[in-house]
Structure 1
Amino acid sequence: MNKQFKKIAIVGPESTGKSTITQQLAAHYNTLWVPEYARYYCAALTEPCNLQDEINMFHGQVALEESILAVAQKELVFCDTTFLTVKIWSDEVFGETPEVVLKALPQYHYDLYLLMDIDLPWQEDPLRDFPHKRNHFMKVWKQELDALNARYTIISGLENRLSNAIAAVDQFIATK
């Protein structure tokens, strides 16, 4: 792949509007977006998720992102989460991160992360697990992004969440 892409990852705890904002940003900037692979994977599970499932979700997210990048025509692509989520969930649920994920973390660069704040009301969903741990996961996300020396902006707001996200992306574009 010769084209240089600016990848913007939309990340954060559960029920913070990541998928909605990702799709809205892609529409606003008339570009492609990468869906969250884990949502589709987990919806098809018939047993409780295990560490091998986390590895499968890692591989699936990477493959999905690479397939979208292969057909992208614009240099800006939005990612509805990244496989950093696999690390966070694996650490929380299983007490460890698969080695393949740890090795891959420094190899996958995102130019900007939009960290969705927990100021939206919790929305029930059968694929969501931790309504009472949102503060905890917000701290974990900040720690993980700091550990990667990632450039990130926290996106807050109920009615103005999208406009705040657009402002952050516009500021990023202006500095590039």
Structure 2
Amino acid sequence: MSVRRIAVLGAESSGKSTLCTALARRYDTAWVPEYLREFVDTHARVPFEADQIGIARTQRAREDAAAAQANAFLFCDTTPLMTALYSRVYWGRVDPALERLAATHDYALTLVTAPDTPWIPDGLMRESEEVRQQVFAMLVDELDARGVRFVLVEGDLPHRLRQVEAALKVLKPL
């Protein structure tokens, strides 16, 4: 069975995981959590620059594994593109191997969560409202520069779910 991968991108604390969980439940399918959270919990630290490519590769490998269990859609809470974007934020550059992986942004649909939910600090994983807004602006610019069409999802969870449902209905049949 063919599965459509749906990228769910956005800055920190913008509701990606909440949206993915709800979408997976709504469409009775799998979703791929953000590996970075597990990395931070396991290592009890934020990543170093050299960790970024491994994080992105693990994220993509987990997508590949989850695709076998998905029904019609696979909702992906972040992608290597976001890892590359955060590399640019924190280190001012992107490792060439990470850039190549990020360039394979081959999703049936890309959703961007607006930073319009309350910003909530989350230990090592959260920066600030200012960084959240900066990353959101960079993400939109990056997607535009790459020619990646996306749907901006805004508002509370029920409103976001309705926006995604409408976007999924217009996808071309497999």
Question: What's the secondary structure of 2:87's corresponding residue?
Answer: helix
Q: Which residue identity lines up with residue 167 of structure 1 in the other structure? A: A
> Which of the residues 13, 29, 35 maps onto 1:37?
35
Structure 2 alignment gaps of length 5 or more:
none
- Give the Cα separation in 1 of the matches to 2:155 and 2:2: 32
Question: What's the secondary structure of 1:132's corresponding residue?
Answer: helix
* TM-score under structure 1 length normalisation: 0.88
Question: What's the secondary structure of 2:126's corresponding residue?
Answer: coil
1:80 deviation in Å?
Answer: 0.7
Cα deviation code 1:15-59 (max 9, x no counterpart): 110001011111111111111111101122244521111122112
The answer to whether 1:64 aligns with 2:65 is no
Change beyond 3 A, Cα 1:134–1:74: same
- C-alpha contact (below 8 Å) 2:121/2:127 kept by paired residues: no
> Which of the residues 78, 102, 106 maps onto 1:109?
106
Q: Which residue identity lines up with residue 57 of structure 1 in the other structure? A: I
Give the equivalent residue in structure 2 for 1:15.
Answer: 13
Give the equivalent residue in structure 2 for 1:92.
Answer: 89
Cα deviation code 1:83-138 (max 9, x no counterpart): 11111110010111111111122334011111000111111211112322222211
User: Quick one: percent identity of the two aligned structures?
Assistant: 30
The answer to whether 1:168 aligns with 2:167 is yes
Give the equivalent residue in structure 1 for 2:78.
Answer: 81
1:9 deviation in Å?
Answer: 0.8
The answer to whether 1:125 aligns with 2:122 is yes
The answer to whether 1:158 aligns with 2:163 is no
Give the equivalent residue in structure 1 for 2:133.
Answer: 135
- C-alpha contact (below 8 Å) 2:3/2:70 kept by paired residues: no
* TM-score under structure 2 length normalisation: 0.89
Q: Which residue identity lines up with residue 163 of structure 1 in the other structure? A: R
Structure 1 alignment gaps of length 5 or more:
none
- C-alpha contact (below 8 Å) 1:4/1:75 kept by paired residues: yes
Bigger Cα displacement from structure 2, 27-36 vs 128-137: 128-137
Question: What's the secondary structure of 1:79's corresponding residue?
Answer: strand
**Number of aligned pairs?**
171
> Which of the residues 39, 50, 53 maps onto 1:52?
50
- Give the Cα separation in 2 of the matches to 1:66 and 1:130: 32
Q: Which residue identity lines up with residue 50 of structure 1 in the other structure? A: F
Aligned structure 1 segments of 4 or more residues deviating by more than 4 angstroms: none
- Give the Cα separation in 2 of the matches to 1:158 and 1:58: 29
- C-alpha contact (below 8 Å) 1:157/1:164 kept by paired residues: no
Q: Which residue identity lines up with residue 18 of structure 2 in the other structure? A: T
